[in-house]
A = this chain, B = another copy of it.
Amino acid sequence: MFFIVGIGLGGVKDITVKGLEVVKSADEVYLENYTSILSVGKESLEEYYGRELKLADREFVEQGCEEMLEKGRNSDVVLLVVGDPFSATTHTDLVLRAKKAGVDTQVIHNASILNAVGCCGLQLYSFGETVSIPFWMDGWSPDSFYDKICHNKERGLHTLCLLDIKVKEPTPESLTKKKKDYLPPLFMSVSDAAEQLMEIVKKRSIETDQQLPVDGETNCVGLARVGSETQQIIYCSLNEMKHKNLGEPLHSLVIIGDLHPLEEEFLALYL
C-alpha cells in the first residue's frame, strides 16, 4: 500500500492517530520537504515517530519516485506531507500515478492553511479564489495574482495569498551540471508580499485614472506559523504590512473583502 499522510501545520503531535499508526507500522517512510515546511524539523519528527525518515525533495518526487510507488506494491510505504495531502498539485499527481499503476493507495487527511486560515476569524465561505505570490527575480515579475485579488475584492470576497518558498533550488550556474549546488532556502514574509503588491499598485496607478479596488489602504491579515505554539496574526493596511515583522516562516497573507460584523469584531483582537 502507498500511503500519503498529511501531518498538519504545527508540531509533531498534529498528525492524526490513524496517521501515526500507519507511520509506526510502515516499511519505509519518506518526508516531502520542498512544497512546505513544518515549524519543527525532520529530527523532531524522527524522534517522536521513533523511526528514520527519508527526505523526498523536488528531484525525488518529480523524477525518482517510481521506485517509491513500486515498493508500495508489496510493502507499506508512506509519504508524509505538511498540511493535507492534496494541498499541492505535485501530490495529486503522485496519487494519480499510483492509482494508474494499480498500486493501492490510502490518503490520510489533515488541516492545511486553506482551512486553518479561519483562525483569524474570517469566514471560509467568504473567500474567493486562492492565489500564490511568487518571488520576483531577474526581471521576472508576474502580477496576474493582483487581478485575481481585485476580482475577489470587487465581489466582497477575501483572498488567501500563499507565499512563495524556495527550498533546494539549484544555483543558476549549476543548473546544467550533473552535480548541483543549492541556494539557501528562501521564504516570503508578509512584508515581502505587501511590498510586491504595493509595487504592482504603483505601476497600475500610473496606467489608470480610476481608483484601484486594492491599494495601500486595503486591509489585510498577516499570519505566521498557523497552528503552532508561536502562531502570530496581525491586522492592518497593506501599507502598514510592509513594515511588520512576523518572524520565522511560514507566512500567509489575506486580502480582505467585505467584513461581516462578527469578522470585524474578531479581527479587532489582532489590531
Contacts and interface: CB of A to CB of B under 8 A. Distances in A.
B17 A15 contact: yes
Contacts of A126: 129
A130 B121 contact: no
A13 B17 contact: yes
Contact of A155 (B87, B107, B129, B132): B129
Interface residues on A, range: 35 or more
Contacts of A265: 96
Interface in A136-167: 151, 155, 157
Nearest to A260: B89
A127 B125 contact: no
A116 interface: yes
A6 B155 CA distance: 30
A95 B122 CA distance: 12
A266 B15 contact: no
Given A16-B16, A262-B92, A115 B118 contact: no
A130 B119 CA distance: 18
Nearest to A93: B262
Nearest to A107: B119
Contacts of A121: 92, 95-96
A110 B110 contact: yes
Interface in A1-32: 6, 8-18, 20-21
A109 interface: yes
B16 A15 contact: yes
A127 B129 CA distance: 6
Interface string A82-116: 01111101001101100100000001011110111
Contacts of A219: none
Nearest to A89: B123
Contact of A16 (B17, B83, B266): B17
B115 A87 contact: yes
A8 B109 CA distance: 8
A111 B114 contact: no
A114 B124 contact: yes
Nearest to A117: B86
Contact of A109 (B15, B99, B115, B262): B115
Interface of A: 6, 8-18, 20-21, 83-87, 89, 92-93, 95-96, 99, 107, 109-112, 114-116, 118-119, 121, 123-132, 151, 155, 157, 227, 262, 265-266, 269
The 5 A-B residue pairs with the shortest CB-CB distance in the complex, in nearest-first order: A86-B118, A109-B111, A13-B18, A13-B17, A109-B116
